Structure 1
Amino acid sequence: MAGNNASDNIACYSPGLAGIPVAESSVSSVDGKRGYLEYRGIDIEQLAEQSSFEETSYLLLYGELPTAEQLASFDRQLKHHRRIKFRIRDMMKCFPESAHPMDSLQATVAALGMFYPFPKNISGELDRATVDTVCVNLIAKLPTLVAAHARMRHGDDPIAPRDDLSHAANFYYMLTGEEPYPLTARILDVAFIVHAEHEMNASTFSTLVTASTHADPYTSISAAIGSLSGPLHGGANEDVLNMLDEIGSVENVEAYLNSKLSNREKIPGLGHRVYKTRDPRAALLVRLYKQLTDKIGIDTNYSIARQIETLSESTLGAKGVCPNVDFYSGIVYRKLGIPTDLFTPIFAIARVAGWLAHWKEQLGSGRIYRPAQIYVGKKGESYIPIEKR
């Protein structure tokens, strides 16, 4: 696409690569106008209602739903690989107590590559067993890494994983020391499903760029976690909870919105680069939240969020600015008793399945990412000796 000079390139310049296809993929598809999301051709709503995170992960990794035997085998492998090396735990003990859980997760995932070496020369085709093992290892270990750091930063010992619990239930158990109620486990499981994949977002692109250099997959996933940590990506759900805390009550919502709109400030959790209508994942999370509140009651956060959505419909809804998945995910997690700074690590626990599905596609590409730029700086300048400056 690049021409011979800047003027030739300007026609194809798109800040942030907005709207520029950078890869072909069969992993997921988003229809932003209709508010529709599919994993491997299956509607996310069907998966959320009928599947499990383990089954959805298999679908993303291998392109089809597993048989009962395949799912049982995959589940056994995930459970077998949940534990982490004691030296990883020792490393985490040295992290400062103030370290954000995403920083801890990025560092420990990168360190996994030293304990589980991956072939450096992948110019040829990797055998399936090698690829399968690293995918299972990462999906299985991320919940353990997040839960271990969450406990150790408060001076508590990590809790060993249990092989009799599902992926979601085991994470909750390792985090809290309590086996979750079936509804709690199901809510967390569905939250994992709806966050597992979302085509070419910033963190997925980071995975592909890093993988295209033939870096090992632990490094590629660590790069994705770094991208996810930003407030414009995965960190947005923390901003939503901070906003709700700042507003404080339903009565304050209208004044808050008017202030934000008059100052042309962004409202956390509203709007999406792809969706021009309500994010389907947000609708699924609201449905889950209602199931939870039927048992333990509605709290102030939800009431404020609903009022924001109602009042913003007339001003922002017409512009396609609607609640996204971050708008409600944090409310759900807080209702489950999960600390705010763990919301984005939970996003990573889920999204690693999608990252790895794209990583597998990148293995077959063999093409390093090397986009062009448009140079707008000076030219033909002469060097000035330091004594003359």
Structure 2
Amino acid sequence: MKEKFLVYKLSETIKNTSKIESQLFEQFNVKRGLRNADHTGVLVGLTKIGDVLGYERLDDGSLKPIAGKLLYRGIDIEELVHNAQQERRTGFEETIYLLLSGYLPDKEELRDFSRLLCESMALEKQTKIAIMELEGHDVMNILARTVLEMYTYDPEPDDTSRDNLMRQSIDLIAKFPAIIAYAYNMLSHSAKGKSLHIRHPHEDFSIAENFLYMMKGSGRYTELDVRVLDLAMIIHAEHGGGNNSTFTVRVTSSTGTDTYSSIAAGIGSLKGPLHGGANLQVGKMLKHLAQEIKNWTDADEIDAYLQRILNKEVFDKKGLIYGIGHAVYTVSDPRAMLLKEMAHQLAQEKGREEEYNFLNLLEQRAIHAVVNRKNARTKKQVCANVDFYSGFVYDMIGLPKEVYTPLFAMSRIVGWCAHRIEELNFDDRRIIRPAYKNIGELKPFIPLKDR
């Protein structure tokens, strides 16, 4: 009881010791969240890996909203995706090669690289044992701990030479699907009492199909399921150096730390509900809306309920419509548009077109509601982001919500590794060290007997 009171007493001091008035940030020109006054990101680095475009800066300094573009090594992601779809093949392996190397592979290079990934996917005995022993209720937490455990079994864990960085990157990228699938199956077995299934990856399957096979077993997924999951992995693989988890990987990499520590830090960042965990918030909101809105085709009823959300009257009472708006994208999020295309096909296959149509109408009305609300303060244009459709897609594929954010990590590990390699290969390397201004008052030390 005494300890509880002491913890409470100490926590109460936070009210004063951690409070900083908002106007002080403006007074000292502090870029909160590394954002400029116009909400654009503060420029802190240079990269050749990815680019996120959502606006143009005009001569007068104002921002002009444009259709969103996501570029991987200078190549439009829409071209990357649509080419793979037209050739009816998976494209994630090609995307990995592109992001790591800087150029597109030819047929022979892609075949050999895909084989290497498959051969590297199977987990070593000690890693499997580690996953089985890592108790917990969160797959992201188990993933991070497993990655740190892998340091122990790497013969050259601290070597940051180019060859070793590439070896570690390929090994981690290949093993993430198996780690996540095994971690979920262990969690499902221990927490829900379900049968434990440990399936070995198949040497002839793509990464997307292997993940579905390890999660669900043979014959429990369709060709379209594989193609849609492959698409989801492509569009989540990279998003520039400024997103929180990639920046975390670059910051930690700049210290010269090992790959496993840096990637584990990235996983910790992505786990947050404002980053990779956002799709779970969208899922909760959509489920709530589907239950509360009686007529899914009535725009007026939808509008009225969305206003109640914005007014902090219903749902989580935070006044946010999750899945709408993005830090960079304005007119459109190319990832959301690509996923929406496939979501429609998947909804037709699964007999869930009514839900898809509801989601489509909800997207339109939510954008309208948010823009109208924001226009009282700002003219910023908003669009649906990728999280708006990702949860619905994963649910149609038959994947449990416990792996939604880990799926994000399974894709983004590619971008993390590419940025880590780039950070460690600058000619003039420097540790990333921003500044904080201390605004606390000077105080004299009072001897213990006088306090």
What is the TM-score with the length of structure 1 in the denominator? Answer: 0.92
- The answer on 1:211 being equivalent to 2:273 is no
Moved more, 357-366 or 280-289: 357-366
Counterpart code for 2:42 = I
Give the aligned partner of residue 44 of structure 2.
Answer: 22
**Aligned with 1:248: secondary structure?**
helix
- The answer on 1:282 being equivalent to 2:342 is no
1:224-243 per-residue CA deviation (whole Å, 9 max, x = no partner) reads 01100001000010111111
- The answer on 1:260 being equivalent to 2:309 is yes
Find 2:83's aligned residue among 21, 45, 50: 50
* Paired residues of 2:159 and 2:258 also in contact (CA < 8 A): no
Query: Whose Rg is larger?
Result: 2
* Paired residues of 2:391 and 2:404 also in contact (CA < 8 A): yes
Cα distance change, pair 81–196 in 1 and its aligned pair in 2 (3 A): same
1:182-238 per-residue CA deviation (whole Å, 9 max, x = no partner) reads 211111111100000001200000101111111111111111011000010000101
* Paired residues of 1:139 and 1:352 also in contact (CA < 8 A): yes
Cα distance change, pair 115–246 in 1 and its aligned pair in 2 (3 A): same
Matches within 5 A, 1:24-43: 24-33=46-55, 34=66, 35-43=68-76
Give the aligned partner of residue 17 of structure 2.
Answer: none
- The answer on 1:384 being equivalent to 2:446 is yes
* Paired residues of 1:10 and 1:374 also in contact (CA < 8 A): no
- The answer on 1:139 being equivalent to 2:184 is no
Tell me the number of residue pairs that the alignment of Structure 1 and Structure 2 aligns: 377
Distance 2:150 2:327 in 1: 33
Find 2:141's aligned residue among 88, 103, 113: 103
1:152-172 per-residue CA deviation (whole Å, 9 max, x = no partner) reads 122213111110101100111
Cα distance change, pair 244–9 in 1 and its aligned pair in 2 (3 A): closer
Distance 1:256 1:88 in 2: 48
1:85 to partner: Cα distance: 2.0
Counterpart code for 2:308 = S
- In structure 2, the gaps of 5 or more residues are 1-23, 36-40, 56-65, 85-90, 190-195, 295-300, 313-317, 373-379
What is the TM-score with the length of structure 2 in the denominator? Answer: 0.79
The structure with higher relative contact order (CA 8 Å, sep 6+) is 1
Identity percentage of aligned residues: 39
- The answer on 1:201 being equivalent to 2:239 is no
* Paired residues of 1:238 and 1:343 also in contact (CA < 8 A): yes
Distance 1:300 1:95 in 2: 41
1:121 to partner: Cα distance: 5.7
1:298 to partner: Cα distance: 2.0
* Paired residues of 2:367 and 2:384 also in contact (CA < 8 A): no
* Paired residues of 2:245 and 2:269 also in contact (CA < 8 A): yes
Matches within 5 A, 1:1-389: 12-18=29-35, 19-33=41-55, 34=66, 35-51=68-84, 52-96=91-135, 99-118=137-156, 120=158, 122=160, 126-128=161-163, 130-155=164-189, 156-179=196-219, 180-199=221-240, 200-249=242-291, 250-251=293-294, 253-263=302-312, 265-298=319-352, 301-317=355-371, 319-365=380-426, 366-379=429-442, 381-389=443-451
Cα distance change, pair 347–196 in 1 and its aligned pair in 2 (3 A): same
What is the RMSD computed on CA atoms of the aligned residues? Answer: 2.0
1:11 to partner: Cα distance: 5.6
**Aligned with 1:185: secondary structure?**
helix
Counterpart code for 1:188 = L
* Paired residues of 1:121 and 1:214 also in contact (CA < 8 A): no
Distance 1:255 1:92 in 2: 47
* Paired residues of 2:306 and 2:369 also in contact (CA < 8 A): no
1:109 to partner: Cα distance: 1.2
